[in-house]
Each structure stands twice: as structure tokens, then as C-alpha cells.
Structure 1
């Protein structure tokens, strides 16, 4: 199974329409089975969209015509490939966007949407969710998660991760958890994940082949004072799965830069 995670930065990016087209073209070229996306935005004042038969609903929130996941799947359809997709609302971003998470899959998705933070107000950027979807990859049912977590703190990431473990603990399916975790390799948050009850492994650490490592190269939103390369976007897998390859994508080498984050792709085997 070939998977990708990317924090898209969506409409906050410069030249977003061009970057959306580049993202769609690379997805077609790489032929991913499942894709997890973060910072998937839609303007709060835009019109309702037409979602079509490939949308797998999980939220009562209206999907707008400029929803980044909707627009991306439309671009993929123009290029001849259909993806099932789902989108969950996290919080209001930059005062003008409904910001959320998305999962795309070549097979139908049975989605779920959970709030993992202790913060409940929609206008509070600390309100965080976990979007999950049961889908089939290479004949295997897998529980896929897309997450965009807070920075390390006892009231932020620590709470979010404990809640995530509670949500996923009883899954009868192998876990494939992807996203922007905002916790660099080795810090307290990263250790909570890799030493936790879910027994998740970091694909970067276990893959037979690796191309690239870091996913943030400079100061970005949320890391304004950053001066070093960081690895904060991850693919984690449960013990039933093994990683063949790890590759940084959309870094100017393996695909154009389309976001303030690079993406991460992996080939996983059951």
C-alpha cells in the first residue's frame, strides 16, 4: 500500500490554485492508495458546494465549493482518477476559514470524527480533532487516521495524545496514523507516541529504504522562531504493518514545494 500525508496549508499559500494543480498531478503520478491531509480549509463566507457520490460524510458542517479536499478530488477526477474522501472540521483558522482534516482513499471510507483536545470553542485554534476512516488497502481493512496536533505541553499535546490512545485502543484493524504532530523527533510528545500503549512505530525509523528526513526547513506558522530542519510530520503504523520505504515529498526534489510543510510518503505492507 502506498500512502501520503501532507499539511497542505491550502488557501493560505501563495499561488494556491497552481499548487493544488501540482499536488493533483503528483498524486496521479505516484498513484497513492490513501492520503491524509491537514489544514484543509474552506472560506466561511463561500457558497455551498456539490460533493457528489465520492464524498463520505462525517460532519454536519456544510462542505463549501472551495473546500480544499473537494477541489483536489475534482482536479483528480479531471485527470481521470476518482478518490473517495471525507473531511472533518477542527477549528476556525485565521478568522476566515473552517479548518479541518481530510482522508482520501481509492476505496470507500467509513469515517469517524473525534475531538481530542480539552478545548471546545470553535474559534479557539487549540480545538483539535482526529479524523479516522476504515478503508481497504490491498485487500486489507485498515483504520487510517489524519491528525493535526498541538505543540508539546501538558494541557495541549499530552491531553490530545491520551485521548487519541483511548479512541484507537480497541480497533480490530491495523492502524495507520498520519499527520502533522508538531512534536520533533525525541521530544516528550514523540516519546509518548512511540512508547505508548498503541505500540506504534515511526516509519522513518523502521523503513528498509529512506529518502530524505525533515519536513520543515524554516520558520513557518506556529514555528516562527525556527532556525533548523525539523521532522514533525509522521506516518506511524501498528505492529501488524511493516514499512518498506520512507520518502519526503513536495520538497523541491521529489515534487514541487506546494506547502510550508513537506509531505511524507511510504510503502507499507500488511
Structure 2
């Protein structure tokens, strides 16, 4: 089984339509060639004022909520459209998390090469205000893939040192929700941008491990440096950065992981975002 997570930063301050199309094509090509089974996307966005997609074109879409309708330039919608054109069928879901840059619906998406039985979303930040840039949601699916049943959470966490919306408060609330929902499945995965470097002690990374989650990078028999951020980005402008591991795939169970790799880093496929992707093979 292969799982990919990527903060795609689809609609940034310097949005360029041609570059966006190239990014979509690059991701779809990688998914096809690597035969990805599960992939989660953060900062998977759309233009707020763009035209709506007619529901009949939402192929294999499983709604997590009905709060923000899908628009024609929605990143997940376009990825699924390209996949379908290649004869690749994935169940998928998307949720809008917050209003970004005064123009975009910033969201989360999950794709499953199998069947999504249930999709849901909920806020784990204190604020549920869609117009507040600190709003944070989880996108959860319960589905079957590779002859097993999984729960997948796609997450984009806040920062440890944020006095209003701390990582600690967010994750502990999230953990309380997860513990009630993780029964009767083969495994649970937390995927996404955690905004918590693995080398910072007694902060976010260590908190997740404290609750019994396994970092699949550490479990991997074969791995690279794991750096998913290679330069200064929003939220880390004041840091001297040579490389950080802040994007993760966490497993509730200790599983065999053959390989963990960074992708879209300029060496293993071209750069398409300010984050690199993380792929594991188990």
C-alpha cells in the first residue's frame, strides 16, 4: 500500500493559472505512475467567487459536509477529473476550512483507491469562524482499500507557540475525538502538515508520540532525509532553516514500512509547492 500526503499550496498570493495547471498534471502523473492508494492534500483550494460545479460532474465524490460548495477551479475536483480521464477511479472528498488571502476557500482533500464508506469534517481549533485564518479542521474518511478498512484523518495543524490556538490544545481535542472513533478498523492514519519540526523537543512532535502514534518515517526500513520544507515559508519566517520535517504520516499501529520518501523536492520530481510531499510504502 502506498500513501502520499502533500501540502500543495494550490492558490497562493502569487497564483498563476498556467503553473496551477502544470501542478495538477504533475501530481496526477505521479499518482498514476506510483499507483498511489491513499493521498491527502492540504491547502487544496478554490477561488471563492468562481462558478459552481454541477453535481453531475462530481464523479466518485463523497460529501463530508455541505458548508462550502465545490467551484470549477477546485484543486481536488481538477485532480479527480484528470485521473478519470486516465481511467483511474478514486473515491474522494473535500472540505473548505477557511477563507484565505481574501479570495480563496482553503481546504483539505482525501482520495482513496477503494470505497469511502463515510466522510466527515470537524473543527479542532477553538475558533470555528471561516473568516479567521487560524481556523483548523480535520477531514476524516472511513473506507476500504487494499483489502483492509482504514480511518484516515487529513490535518493541517496550528503552531505550538500560538497563545490563541496552540498545537497542544488542538491536538488534545483531536485525540479525544479520535479515541471514540477508531474501533472496528484495521488501522488509523493521521496525515498532513503538522507545523511541528521533528527535532524540537517537548513540543508538537513529542506530544503526538506521547499519545501512542507511530511516525512512519521512523518505522521505514529505507528512507531519505525526510525534509518536507527546504526554505523559509509562512509561519517559519524567523527561523534559520536548512530543512525541516513537519509533514507526516502517523500510524495508530506499529506497521511494517518498507520505504519513506520525499517527493516534489526538485530531485525526486520537480518542485510544485513550498512543501514537499511524503510517500510511504508498506
Which TM-score band (shorter chain)? Answer: over 0.9
Q: Structure 1: state its 5+ residue gaps.
A: none
Structure 2 equivalent of residue 234 of structure 1: 248
Summarize the Cα distance change of 1:184–1:240 in structure 2 as closer, same or farther, 3 Å threshold: closer
1:149-228 matches, within 5 Å, as 149-153=157-161, 155-170=165-180, 171-172=182-183, 173=185, 174-187=187-200, 188-196=203-211, 199-228=212-241
- The residue aligned with 1:140 is 148
| TM superposition shift of 1:186 | 3.6
Q: How far off is 1:211 after superposition?
A: 2.6
How many residues of Structure 1 are paired with residues of Structure 2 in the alignment?
Answer: 266
- Comparing 223-232 with 115-124, greater Cα deviation is found at 223-232
TM-score, normalization by structure 2: 0.91
- Alpha-carbon distance between aligned partners in 2 of 1:84 and 1:56, rounded to the nearest angstrom: 7
TM-superposed deviation, 1:103: 0.1
Whole-Å Cα distance in 2 between the matches of residues 191 and 124 of structure 1?
A: 28
- SS class of match (1:37): strand
Q: CA deviation at 1:189?
A: 0.8
Q: Identify which of 38, 53, 62 aligns with 1:56.
A: 62
CA distance in 2, matches of 1:136, 1:43: 32
Measure the CA separation in 2 of the matches of 1:132 and 1:97: 22
Give the match for residue 2 of structure 1: 2
Confirm whether residue 117 of structure 1 aligns to residue 134 of structure 2: no
The answer to whether the 8 A contact 1:90-1:100 is kept is yes
Runs of 4+ aligned structure 1 residues displaced above 4 Å come to none
TM-score, structure 1 normalization? 0.94
Unaligned runs of 5+ in 2: none
Equivalent residue number for residue 100 of structure 2: 93
Q: CA RMSD in A?
A: 1.4
CA contact (8 A) 2:214 2:254 kept: no
1:158 deviation in Å?
1.1
Deviation of 1:119 (Å): 1.1
Structure 2 counterpart SS, 1:247: strand
Following superposition, the deviation at residue 227 of structure 1 comes to: 3.0
| Comparing 8-17 and 161-170, the one that deviates more | 8-17
Report the equivalent of 2:136.
128
Q: Is the partner of 1:159 in helix, strand or coil? A: helix
Q: Hey, what's the Cα distance between the residues in 2 that align with 1:224 and 1:240?
A: 35
User: 1:226 Cα shift?
Assistant: 3.5
- Asked if the contact 1:34–1:103 (Cα under 8 Å) also holds between the matched residues in 2, the reply is yes
